[in-house]
Chains A and B, each alone.
Chain A
């Protein structure tokens, strides 16, 4: 039953019940306590008044000054409506003066007899319609009693005061209940609204939409609070997710807040967290949003991976097809090229036929190269891996192309690590890799530029690194993700087969390495970077990562053959 009541009603009912209980309890306890306190106070006041009257009435009683005695008994009634009566009893036990109108109720003399040794005696009497506290104080002179003062104080006054007090408490309780109901409704509304929002978000996720935002935008953005200009940070524009969740998990780099160690502990001291943190429901909403966001990213990654797998399978099929075609074409092309070269000897170099044959030979060679590249791309040819000095390998390749580069005023700069980085690899294949990259750089620059070859080691990661940087125009961002795809090229028709970087990628992966590309596109009209700025403003930098070769303690020759 209770579980079916809405959360908002539960909170409101709980608050109302609490205040009602508090109010009623307070009213009961205070009424009782106040009643007792007032009663005690009333008794004290009654005793005090009776004793005071006894003091005041002594002189006129002795002199039998009835007027003064009447004044004395009437006087307390003038300022106190609760005093029901007062009268003086003489030594003979008969009333002398009293405040009653219409005769003296003789029955009063029967009750509340007081001894000489008592300062005052209190007795509750009832007239049938009214409760009265009767106070009897003897009028003593020395050890002689000369009379008795009797004073009646109505309990109506006490009851009225208690009643007023209880009503005040009940009214205050009623007001508090109304306020509590309003506050409870407001409080519950803020909670239930957010819970409903969470519920709607969950429903959206269930329906397949992961673009949910349960949290409102934060009031104070972390970039403003920390004066951060890291625009790449995912929290830079995202004002809906707490960075204490995203930093380190979803952000691609550490912004210095909570990087390393216990992230949440570190974040608790951060002003961004202090400023934007909320209650448990906000935390839940934050977690929910982060969960949805993470889920979305993981699903996107999965989708990309699936696309790549499909592409890879397509390429594999294509490679097999190309290998078959290339294999079939390679022999006829070789024969045609052989006969073309023989025919070239039969014609005079000045003849028109000789020129045609030269053109034919040139294009046959291009065909031959395409076929050779296709074969390399599609076939996992045997490898001969040895420990290699990257500096030496690069120097060999550089020396081959340096002259050609020089013709187009392209400087080839070497920035080799002093300590030669050793890797394990196939010399010929790696030469091809570097040659491909240098040829790409040469083609990208055209003329007047610099190509920088660098090597270095990263002992922490156990990597030997090679970078080939050019001062060319750079690769457009839209082309960057596809540069390693087979047959993709940005070069003019006839200048590139689109297989060079695919082959390079395959060889590097075959060596357990990877290739990173960084490109800064030069805007139209901008000048090329200075020759010494290979990692300058514009151009492309290919960085190749190879596992460092760890030679055994008993070192063999540098090019000792390794077991593949």
Chain B
């Protein structure tokens, strides 16, 4: 009889299988291990008290805050750099949060040079003795500008200016020229008085007033709004402008002016005026400065250039001391 002997096989797997198993076991550990970035040592024990210090001996330049400060900065920083270069003066831009703050800071002497609408100017001239020394030419070549009365395109209740009676009116600021005063004069000329409106409101908060008026009308918070001409274009990439209808344009009035506070050293004023008037917006050198500041040139000006504003204020019953 044949006897069959079964060899007992070893209980451990072959070498290659053991190696594979070991690799599988080590894989997670290898995967888990990685090179971390090396930190930089910072000593937190060396502490100092820090705080903001107002720069001393600088000429302050302010732009009446009708737009966001960012916009104001973008528009006027190149011009300030130009003035610094031309005059050698330490000029810096300051940013009042509102028309009232602007007037208050002017009164406090915190703003040496300001770029303001003529309505503000007549107010600060009346109150603080500020002096106008230059005026700008608008981008379209005009020496003045006008206001714009807007409503929503789909608002069937407002077809004519007369329809604005009994409606809610939002304006830029009580000290705004194109955004309030000019429109008020326009309504006045068309027999509409302040008391004919259901409500007259001014936008609040720092900066961006022109844009806020447009948005308030766009969103239906108010029935009509008043802005300076050209303000709508600031929101061209943010809202559908076809939903905004221009109800009327106001008459033309003097454009923005450069104002020096009372008591500003004459040599400083002279140097700044010269540098401003030296701007040739057609030249390659200054074109970017003028484009950024949204004007086409600067002309010398005197107080009488704003008399039309004083008359308009008197006509509509605005007290320049308020």
Contact = CB atoms under 8 A, between A and B. Distances in A.
Interface in B209-266: none
Query: Chain A at the B interface: mostly helix, strand, loop or mixed?
Result: mixed
Contact of A128 (B12, B28, B41): B41
A102 interface: yes
Interface stretch (A28-36, A354-362, A431-439, A442-450): A28-36
B297 interface: no
A65 interface: yes
Contact of A125 (B27, B28, B42, B94): B42
A29 B32 contact: yes
B223 to A, nearest CB: 29
A367 interface: no
Interface string A1-41: 01100000000000000000100111011011000100000
Given A63-B95, A105-B43, A141 B29 contact: no
A146 interface: yes
Interface stretch (B46-54, B134-142, B146-154, B165-173): B46-54
A103 B47 contact: yes
A550 to B, nearest CB: 43
B109 interface: no
B108 to A, nearest CB: 15
Interface in A119-157: 123-128, 131, 141-142, 144, 146
B38 interface: yes
Contact of A106 (B48, B206, B207): B48
B141 to A, nearest CB: 26
Contacts of B33: 32
Given A24-B28, A28-B32, A141-B77, A58 B42 contact: no
B47 A104 contact: yes
B43 A131 contact: no
A97 B41 CA distance: 23
A62 interface: yes
B11 A2 contact: yes
Interface residues of A, number: 46
What range describes how many residues of B lie at the interface?
35 or more
B41 A125 contact: yes
A108 interface: yes
Interface in A325-363: none
B6 to A, nearest CB: 15
A380 B68 CA distance: 140
A307 to B, nearest CB: 30
B319 interface: no
B70 A62 contact: yes
Contacts of A98: 50
Interface of B: 11-12, 25, 27-29, 31-34, 37-50, 52, 68-70, 72-74, 77, 93-97, 206-207
Given A63-B206, A126-B41, 10 more contacts: A25-B28, A64-B52, A64-B95, A102-B47, A103-B49, A104-B48, A104-B49, A124-B40, A125-B42, A128-B43
